[in-house]
Amino acid sequence: MHRVLIVGAGSIGERHVRCFLSIGRAEVGVCEPSNSTREGVAGRYDLCGAYSSLNAALLESWDAAVVATPAHTHIAIATTLAQAGIHLLVEKPLSTSMDGVTELQSEVRARSLVAGIGYSHRACAP
SS3 13: helix
Residue 123 belongs to some domain of the structure = no
Say what the pLDDT of residue 51 is.
98
CATH number of the CATH domain containing 19 = 3.40.50.720
Counting as low any pLDDT under 70, the low residues of the chain are 121-126
Q: What global pTM score does this model have?
A: 0.92
Q: How far apart are CA 54 and CA 81, in angstroms?
A: 9
Number of domains forming the structure of the chain: 1
Residue 126 belongs to some domain of the structure = no
Say what the pLDDT of residue 126 is.
65
Q: How far apart are CA 22 and CA 104, in angstroms?
A: 30
SS3 31: strand
Residue 50 belongs to some domain of the structure = yes
Residue 122 belongs to some domain of the structure = no
Q: How far apart are CA 12 and CA 2, in angstroms?
A: 20
